[in-house]
Amino acid sequence: MESSDQDTKRAAASRNGASVEPARGARWALVENQILTEATRLFALRGFAATTLKDIADATGLTRPALYHYFANKEAVLARLVSDLTLAPADELAKLRRRRGKSAIERLHAMAFDTALRHATQPERFRVLVRSDAELPSDIAQSYLDGRRRILAEFVAVIDQGVAADELRPLDARTAALGIIGMCTWVAFWYRPTEAGDERAVATQIADMAVASVRNADSRATTASGPARALELLKQDVALLEATLAAEPRPRD
């Protein structure tokens, strides 16, 4: 009975916006993930506006007071999806971009792989977020926009670094970043796993293609960069041409 009274008090505190922090563990994470999964399914089926917290509780097999332990309202569920699918990935991409001892190409590959893998392993959640864009409350919509802008900024930054280091060919970094992000995120709309672990192979192939689309085709080593590098490569080409012509037999008169 005492436990029931505590549950009631916690549920009331959650509804009133108070912080509720019961002990968390493996079961907490399991139930929370189930709530997000069922909410995603309902949002996709009915739309965010037409889905109630009771609908989510019923689909999860929880009472509404029990659900309040995890989320105060359906907006909190949606906010968590936005956080998990844009803000958390932006943080991870920032870490990957700042890796020490890695070339820009290696860091870009890791970032593209991470993005593609997230979309391959949680496609339903990414799809419903895209389709619910117009229904998002203003504060959640702003958070969603901020997360996407941060993701774009991280890709632009590493591409700029790659161009400056002559690892990537000269191009508009923002256009290239948008193209790579589109390639990685579209996985959520077409990928269907055929066997366990298949999503990693798909993410690797997408990352390989992303890097190949911007990589500098001429990977010869030089001591210069920028226009000076182009001039040095041109001199190498002229020297090779002269050596080739000199080695050819001369026609007899």
Q: List, in sequence order, every residue forming a beta bridge with 168; answer none if it has no partner.
A: 215
Helix (H, G, I), strand (E, B) or coil at 215: strand
> What pLDDT sits at residue 213?
95
Spatial CA neighbour of 70 closest among 45, 34, 40, 41: 34
> Distance (Å, rounded) from C-alpha 142 to C-alpha 29?
27
Residue 248, Ramachandran bin (φ over 0: left; ψ between -120 and 50: alpha; else beta): beta
Q: What is the pLDDT of residues 180-211, one digit of tens each?
A: 999 999 999 999 887 777 999 999 999 999 99
> What pLDDT sits at residue 20?
44
Q: Enter the pTM of the model.
A: 0.75
What are the Cα distances from residue 120, in Å, to 151, 182, 198, 216?
17, 13, 9, 28
* CB contact at 8 A, 118 and 140: no
> Distance (Å, rounded) from C-alpha 115 to C-alpha 157?
16
Q: The tokens of 160 are what? A: 């700029």
* CB contact at 8 A, 116 and 89: no
> What pLDDT sits at residue 237?
64
**Mean pLDDT computed over every residue of the chain:** 84
**Given a cut of 90, is residue 163 above it in pLDDT?**
yes
Q: What is the pLDDT of residues 28-63, one digit of tens each?
A: 889 999 999 999 999 989 888 899 999 999 999 999
> What pLDDT sits at residue 231?
74
Q: What is the pLDDT of residues 5-19, one digit of tens each?
A: 444 444 444 444 443
Q: The tokens of 218 are what? A: 């001429």
Q: What is the pLDDT of residues 72-84, one digit of tens each?
A: 999 999 999 999 9
Lowest mean pLDDT among 117-121, 197-201, 211-215: 197-201
> What pLDDT sits at residue 249?
67
Helix (H, G, I), strand (E, B) or coil at 168: strand
Band (236; pLDDT cuts 50, 70, 90): low
* CB contact burial 89-128 (16+ within 10 A = b; e otherwise): bbebbeebbeeeeeebbbbbbbbbbbbbbbbbbbbebbbb
> Distance (Å, rounded) from C-alpha 207 to C-alpha 18?
43
Q: The tokens of 253 are what? A: 């008169």
